[in-house]
Amino acid sequence: MREHYREELEDINNCLVEMSNSVGSAMSKATTALLDADVALADLVIAGDEHIDAVRESIEERCFTLLARQQPVATDLRTVTTAMRIVGDLERMGDLAVHVAKLARMRFPESAVPTEVRPIFLEAGHVAQSLVTQVGTVIAKLDVQGAAQLERDDDLMDQLHRQLFTELLSPGWPHGMESAIDITLLGRYYERFADHAVSVARRVVFLVTGERDMVALPN
Amino acid sequence: MREHYREELEDINNCLVEMSNSVGSAMSKATTALLDADVALADLVIAGDEHIDAVRESIEERCFTLLARQQPVATDLRTVTTAMRIVGDLERMGDLAVHVAKLARMRFPESAVPTEVRPIFLEAGHVAQSLVTQVGTVIAKLDVQGAAQLERDDDLMDQLHRQLFTELLSPGWPHGMESAIDITLLGRYYERFADHAVSVARRVVFLVTGERDMVALPN
């Protein structure tokens, strides 16, 4: 029984890593759909969200069953409750990829992203991908150092977000109000995607160290 | 021991209701700060978020301790894991009130909200307040009917959100790009606040009925 229990805990952790790969792939596709006005790819992301939601439900139920049947304590209990929160963040990251994809779809056959801010969204897509890869490693290896690096990469996303506003507010922005609204919302989606990645990392750090404050981490 | 355990479960539920009152009060103050460019009130909301975060931590820890010591099963276990998720939604609602307050603060002594869209934000504030009051009742009484009503009120918020875009996109919007960005973000904050209220209600419905789908609810 106990051996099965340990395997189940490990398997739940593996599912979280797979789920972070899924949301990373969704955001990556959504970024391409956005930049290339690729409506088929946008549709793939939108349709794929059902699978991500199903994975969340499945992980939640497995955690619940494990709590009910095995009644873990101490670190094992903390591991399960952490997993139950991490799935929430990951699911939301999937939703944000869908928001990006839906905006790409709405403006098709135009691109929602004018030339001036294209490099910013290209880079935001890269940072998002890098964050998600790190999230996978942090979860898989309970990697506290990786979590600290991830916070620094989140700063990159914040910088990109500020650059976006600088572009929008530059005199003579030629693309009108609809485009400005789109870009403001898109910037917010990428920023929140990164925030949730940081949130996952912090939950893992709390699990490992008992510390909520990332400032205490080694650089 | 068992009696204490039951009291603890009830007390955690009471804390959730109090926490929803706190985030309701925060959003209400933030809306006034926004509409009246009241920087002192905005500061109150920003400073008050620390308390809301502390309440979240306290509820999470109490749930954790209850799981560890009492090892509840069945409905009691579901009640605890639901509470652990609801605090996440409520904390985020508090963060969104802070975002509104910070925007009010940033534009002080001007108001971030021009006359044209003032009635929309006034109404959004009322809807937010009404949603939070309903959230409190849904949690306190496990009120599934109230949860269904809450979903309908969320539709009101979505309508307000669409009205906002109609205003922004009307020909000759006179307030420039900065104001348009502010309003787009503000609209998003209120919409997300309402989404989290709905999420809390759905979690309570799932706890009571085992159904995730609100469509199945009586109207």
CATH, residue B63? 1.20.58.220
Q: For the segment A4-56, what is each residue's pLDDT rounded down to a tens digit? A: 888 999 999 999 999 999 999 999 999 999 999 999 999 999 999 999 999 99
For helices B176-209 and A176-209, what crossing angle results, to 10°? 50
Distance from the Cα of residue B167 to its chain's centroid: 25
Q: For the segment A114-169, what is each residue's pLDDT rounded down to a tens digit? A: 999 999 999 999 999 999 999 999 999 999 999 989 999 999 999 999 999 999 99
Q: pLDDT value at position B2?
A: 67
Tally of CA atoms within 13 A in the half-sphere of B133 that contains its CB: 9
Report which residue type is found at A208. Answer: V
- Going by C-alpha positions, the residue among A24, A83, A25, A90 that lies closest to residue A53 is A90
Which residues of chain B have a CB within 8 Å of the CB of A67? 67, 77, 81
Q: Measured between alpha carbons, how far is residue A1 from residues A4, A5, A69, A70, B27 in Å?
A: 5, 6, 10, 9, 49
Helices (H), chain A: 2-36, 39-70, 74-107, 118-141, 144-169, 176-209
Name the residue among A78, A84, A180 with its Cβ closest to that of B177: A180
What percent of chain A has pLDDT above 90? 88
How large is the average pLDDT for residues A176-192? 96
Report which residue type is found at B85. Answer: R
User: How far, in Å, CA of B16 to CA of B83, rounded?
Assistant: 8
Q: Report CA torsion sign: B135, B95, B178, B184.
A: negative
Q: pLDDT value at position B180?
A: 94
ipTM: 0.93
Query: Where do we find the tokens 């910070």?
Result: B102
Domain that holds residue B44: 2-216
Q: Measured between alpha carbons, how far is residue A67 from residues A131, B12, B75 in Å?
A: 30, 19, 12
Q: How many structural domains is chain A composed of?
A: 1
Q: What six digits make up the tokens of A146?
A: 């990786």
Cβ-based neighbours of A8, under 8 Å, separated by 6 or more: A62, A66, A70
Report which residue type is found at B79. Answer: T
Q: Collapsing DSSP states into helix, strand and coil, what is residue A101?
A: helix
pLDDT mean across residues, chain A: 93
Query: Over its length of 219 residues, how does chain B's per-residue pLDDT go in tens digits?
Result: 567 888 999 999 999 999 999 999 999 999 999 999 999 999 999 999 999 999 999 999 999 999 999 999 999 999 999 999 999 999 999 999 999 999 999 999 999 999 999 999 999 999 999 999 999 999 999 999 999 899 999 999 999 999 999 999 998 888 989 999 999 999 999 999 999 999 999 999 999 998 775 544 333
Are A177 and B169 inside 8 Å of each other by CB? yes
- Report chain B residues touching chain A, CB-CB < 8 A: 57, 63-64, 67-68, 71, 73-74, 77-78, 81, 84-85, 88, 165, 168-169, 173, 177-178, 180-181, 184-185, 188, 212
Exposure string for B12-40, b = 16+ CB within 10 A, e = fewer:
bbebbbebbebbbbbbbbbbbbbbebbbe
What percent of chain A has pLDDT above 70? 96
